Amino acid sequence: MQRQRIVFIAGILAALATILPLAAAIAYARHRALEAEREHLAEYSDWTLRRAERNFARVTDVFRELQAVDWDACGEDHIARMRKLAVDNLAVEEVGYFQDGKLACTSWGKVTKLVAHGTPDARLAGGFGLYLNVAPQVSAGHPVIVVDRGDYNALVSHERFVDVLTDTPMTVGIATLQGRIIAVNGTAPGDVMRRAASLDGFARVGARIFTSVHDGHFRAFAITDEAFVQSRMARELWALVPLALLTSALLVALIVWTSRRRLTPERALEDAIRRRELHVLYQPIMEIATGLCVGAEALLRWQRSDGTSVSPEVFIPLAEKHRLIEPLTDMMIGCVVADLADMLRRERSVHVAINISAIDMQSGRFLPVLTHALAEAGVAPRQVWLEATERGFMDAAAARETLETARAQGHMVAIDDFGTGYSSLAQLAALPLDALKIDKSFVDAIGREAATSVVVPHVIEIAHGLNLLIVAEGVETPEQEAYLRAAGVGFAQGWLYARALPAGEFLAFQEAINGRRVSPFLTSLAG
C-alpha cells in the first residue's frame, strides 16, 4: 500500500479514534442522565397520583357514609354527622347537602343563601362531578375544588391533590383523564402542563421534560427543567471522560503501531506481493557462436505505486529475512509460466533461467510448485534452468538434495556469481551442476589491468574441466564478447545484446534474432 495512503488512512482513523470515544461518552452520559431524570420524574408523578387517589378515596368515604343512612334531611343529626366527617377527615374542608337543586345545609349548619347545584367542569368515573376553582359561598375563603355525588358535595382544597414534597425543583400536577388540569404544585409554563396533562409517558416540550401516569380517575404529571439533565450529565461525564480518553489513547496507539508496522519495508513488500505489484523482466541469453537468443534470465522487479523502484538486491534479502521469499518465488514462477509458456512450448531448445534463493535451495519447497506449474502449462522441465548462488550452498547437504531432485526431474542447474563467495573448488566439483555463470565483476575485468582479470581464465578453465556450460554475465562490449568467444565460453548475457525486457519485448527480440533458426547445440541437449 502506498505510503501516503497509509499515512492518510491512519490520520483519519486516529481522528476517529480520538473523537468517537468522546462522542460516545457524551451520548451515553446524556442517555443515562435522561434515563435517570425520567425515572426521577416517574417516581414523583406516581407518588402524586397515589396521594391524589388516597385523598380522593377519603372524600368518597364521606359520601358513602352519608348516603348509607336515610337522614332526616338537614336535621340536627344529619348536620352533626356532616360536621364530624368534615372535621375528622383532613381531606375535606366542608360537606354540603342539596335539596331540590339548592344547597340546603352544610357541615356548618343550615344555609339561608341560594346556592344552586351547577354543572360540573369535569366528571370522574363512579358518578363524581368535579368543579374546579370554586369560591366557597358559605364559608368563604380561598378557591377550592368541589366534588359532588348525588345530593352531597365536598369542598377539597387544591393542595390535597398535590401535597407532595420534591427533592429537586419540579412542578407536579393532577388532571382528569381527559386532560383537564385539577391542581398544580409548581410554576411550569401552561402549554407544557397542558401537554403533560393530556398524554402518558416521557416527553420534552421546549426546555422542559415531563413524565405522566394515570389510573382510574386521574392523570398525574411531574415536570422539570432540562437543565437538570445537563447537570446530571456533567456528573456522568466526570466518570466517563477519563475512560473515553483512555480508550482514545489506546486506539490511537494501536493505529500508530499498526501503521508503523505497515510502513516498514517488509510489510510494504508483503503488500506488494499480495497486490502483485512485482513483475518479471527477461534478459536474453545469447549463444556466442551463433548469435542466437537461446533463453532468458527471469529478473524480478518491484515498481512501487509511487513510481519508485526497488532493486532485487534489496528486496530479495528482505524477503529472505522476513519469510516472504516463498510467496515471492511462487509469484515469480506463476509470472514466468504465464509470460513464456506459449513460446517455450513452440521453441523446445529455448530456456528460461530462474533465480533460486538460499532459503528456497535449502527447503526445496519451490520444486513441487514449479513442477505443477510446468506440467499444467506443458513446458518441459529441461527448459527451466535453476540459478543457485553460492550462499545457497551454505547448508551443502540440503542444497545438494534439492539440486539432485531438480536434476532428476530434468532441470538444468547453474551456479550463479561463482567466485564472489567463498565456495571452494572442491565444493564446486562435488555439486550436481550443469552450468556456471561468470559473475559480471569478472567480465568487467576483461581487458583491464584489474586484479580480477587474472582470475577469469582460471574460472573458465575450471568450468571446462568440470564439463560445465558457461554463461558470462554483464557483457557490455564487443571486446569482452571477443575474449569470451576465444576462451570457449558458450553463452553470454548483458547490455551488449539487450537489457532486461518486459515479456512482450523479449518475445519480439527473440523472434527477431532467431527467426526460424535454432541452436544445434542446445537442440541436441534438449533432444
Ligand X SMILES: Nc1nc2c(ncn2[C@@H]2O[C@@H]3COP(=O)(O)O[C@H]4[C@@H](O)[C@H](n5cnc6c(=O)[nH]c(N)nc65)O[C@@H]4COP(=O)(O)O[C@H]3[C@H]2O)c(=O)[nH]1
For residue 402, state whether it binds ligand X (rule: CB under 6 A): no
**How near is the Cβ of 272 to ligand X at its closest, in Å?**
14
One of 153, 283, 383, 514 touching ligand X (CB under 6 A)? 283
Identify the residue among 37, 148, 270, 416 touching ligand X (CB under 6 A).
Answer: 416
Distance of CA 428 to the CA centre of its chain: 56
Span from 134-142, 305-313, 422-430, 480-488 in contact with ligand X (CB under 6 A): 305-313
> Closest Cα partner for 432 from 468, 465, 383?
468
Number of residues interacting with ligand X: please give it, by CB under 6 A: 22
Determine, following the binding rule CB under 6 A, whether residue 327 of this chain makes contact with ligand X.
no
- State yes or no: residue 476 binds ligand X (CB under 6 A): yes
> From start to end of 91-246, where are the E strands?
94-99, 102-106, 109-110, 122-124, 128-134, 144-149, 152-156, 171-176, 181-185, 201-205, 208-214, 218-225
Indicate which single residue of 316, 386, 403, 484 sits in contact with ligand X (rule: CB under 6 A).
316
Binding-site member from 103, 300, 310, 350 for ligand X (CB under 6 A): 300
Q: Candidates 40-48, 54-62, 245-253, 297-305: pick the segment binding ligand X (CB under 6 A).
A: 297-305
Question: How far is Cα 331 from Cα 279, in angstroms, rounded to an integer?
Answer: 9
Closest separation between CB of residue 497 and ligand X, Å?
Answer: 9
Q: Which of 238, 231, 219 is nearest to 172 (CA)?
A: 219
417 binds ligand X (CB under 6 A): yes
Select from 485, 510, 115, 447 the least CA-distant residue to 296: 510
Q: Which is nearer to ligand X, 341 or 500 (CB)?
A: 500
Report the C-alpha gap between 358 and 423 in whole angstroms.
14
Q: Are 463 and 451 in contact (CB under 8 A)?
A: no
DSSP state, 453? G
Whole-number Å distance between alpha carbons of 183 and 160:
9
Q: Is the dihedral of CA 254, 255, 256, 261 positive or negative?
A: positive
Hey, how many other C-beta atoms are within 10 angstroms of the C-beta on 277?
18
* CB nearer to ligand X: pick between 18 and 493: 493
Min dist CB 424 to ligand X, Å, is 21
Residue among 82, 500, 503, 522 that touches ligand X (CB under 6 A): 500
State which residue, 478 or 515, has the beta carbon closest to ligand X: 478
Interface residue with ligand X among 357, 423, 514, 519 (CB under 6 A) is 357
* Span from 120-128, 292-300, 418-426, 503-511 in contact with ligand X (CB under 6 A): 292-300
Min dist CB 429 to ligand X, Å, is 22
Q: Whose Cβ is closer to ligand X: residue 177's or residue 377's?
A: 377
Q: For the residues of 359-406, what is the DSSP string, one character each?
A: HHHHH-THHHHHHHHHHHHT--GGGEEEEEEGGGGSSHHHHHHHHHHH
Comparing CB distances to ligand X, the nearer of 233 and 336 is: 336
On whether the CB atoms of residues 169 and 225 are closer than 8 A, the answer is yes
Q: How far is the CB of 367 from ligand X (least distance, A)?
A: 14
Spatial distance between the Cα atoms of 231 and 234, rounded to a whole number of angstroms: 5
Q: Is 494 in the site for ligand X (CB under 6 A)?
A: yes
Q: Which of 115, 299, 394, 445 binds ligand X (CB under 6 A)?
A: 299
Among 37, 277, 473, 481, binds ligand X (CB under 6 A): 473
- Taking CB under 6 A as the criterion, the residue among 313, 448, 486, 527 binding ligand X is 313
**Does 481 engage in binding with ligand X (CB under 6 A)?**
no
Query: Does 339 interact with ligand X (rule: CB under 6 A)?
Result: no
Q: For ligand X, which stretch binds (CB under 6 A), given 112-120, 137-145, 234-242, 309-317?
A: 309-317
Closer CB to ligand X, 184 or 280, in the complex = 280
Element (H, E) at 352: strand 351-356
Contact 62, 95 (CB under 8 A): yes
Query: 95, 156, 255, 332: which one contacts ligand X (CB under 6 A)?
Result: 332
Please say whether the beta carbons of 222 and 208 come within 8 A: no
- Exposed / middle / buried, residue 144 (Cβ in 10 Å: 0-12, 13-18, 19+): buried
- The answer to whether the beta carbons of residues 418 and 450 sit under 8 Å apart is no
Q: What's the min distance (Å) between Cβ of 440 and ligand X?
A: 6
Among residues 109, 312, 334, 364, the one that binds ligand X under rule CB under 6 A: 312
Query: Which listed residue (50, 348, 365, 440) binds ligand X by CB under 6 A?
Result: 440
At its nearest, how many Å lie between ligand X and the CB of residue 425?
21
Measured between alpha carbons, how far is 270 from 263 in angstroms, rounded to an integer? 11
Footprint of ligand X (CB under 6 A): 283, 298-300, 311-313, 316, 332, 355, 357, 387, 416-417, 440, 473-474, 476, 493-495, 500
